[in-house]
Amino acid sequence: MNAADMIRFELDGREIDAAPGESILQAARRAGTDIPHLCYTDGLRADGNCRACVVEIDGERVLAPSCCRAPKAGMKVKAESERARASQRMVLELLRADVPAAAEKPDSELAHWCEELGVTESRFAPRDQPAPDRSHPGIAVNLAACIQCTRCLRACREVQVNDVIGLAQRGADTAIVFDFNDPMGTSSCVGCGECVQACPTGALLPAALADLLGQTVSEPVAVRGAFAEQPALAP
């Protein structure tokens, strides 16, 4: 990389050089400074849907998602200001509300960022929780722990080009589904595990690990909200 191509900006008072095409988050991480993030992971297209990575940019009224924002030369960015931190914590608290402790992987990325930012509990009520799906021999699905970051979807679609995982419904009823809302074990999933690697909460786990964590259940698959009431698709 030619040094002349680098874009120098300031992050929390420290000068950082971003390579062309890098986001603020990518440049910060390469320079050894991490910013909370959940829907972003290296190797997948940034989606900007969780808002855990928001930062303050001098001269801008609205906080910006650092995973999707390219730095400009001379830009002054604050990831640790009071306002940025309050917003990052609020996002974590909202996401945490939907993830019952029993459903979460203990060393998950969500748990890591909650600990880093001191989010120990949530003031918000959880939504209705779908039942676990243990229909697949190798992968345990527990969408109670899903924060809909879509990393699994992007890993399935963009890395493996399988396109088994999708999002159904809208707003509060949005849910991850496999094919046409099939149990994972009868979907077209090939069991590659790419989605399990991508999941930041433990909504998708190796079945053996779910067993170790005591998540072995054999309840019927259920889905959130109105999707369950939709008529079946014609064959």
Least Cβ distance, residue 212 to ligand FES (angstroms)? 29
Query: Measured on CA atoms in the order 161, 47, 32, 146, is the torsion positive or negative?
Result: negative
Bridge partners (DSSP) of residue 78 are 56
Smallest separation (angstroms) from ligand FES to the CB of 129: 22
User: Six-digit token pair at 17?
Assistant: 């050089």
* 38 contacts ligand FES (rule: CB under 6 A): yes
Stretch that binds ligand FES, among 32-40, 56-64, 77-85, 212-220 (CB under 6 A): 32-40
Q: Across the strands, what pairs with 167?
A: 176
Q: Which of 16, 26, 27, 37 binds ligand FES (CB under 6 A)?
A: 37
Degrees to nearest 5, angle at CA 213 with 97 and 183 = 75
Question: In this structure, are residues 207 and 147 in contact, taking their beta carbons and an 8 Å threshold?
Answer: no
Instruction: For the CB of residue 23, give the shortest distance to ligand FES in the complex, in Å.
Output: 8
Binders of ligand FES: how many residues, by CB under 6 A?
Answer: 12
| CB proximity list for 218: less than 8 A, separation 6 or greater | 134
Q: Which tokens is 46 given?
A: 């940034």
Task: Quote the least distance from Cβ 32 to ligand FES, whole Å.
Answer: 18
Name the pairing type of β-strands 76-78 and 7-11: parallel
Q: Which is nearer to ligand FES, 49 or 160 (CB)?
A: 49
Q: Site map for ligand FES, 44-83, x if CB under 6 A?
A: ----xxxxxx-----------x-x----------------
Residue 112 forms beta bridges with which residues? none
CB of 187 to ligand FES, least distance (A): 26
Which residues are near ligand FES by CB under 6 A?
A: 37-40, 48-53, 65, 67
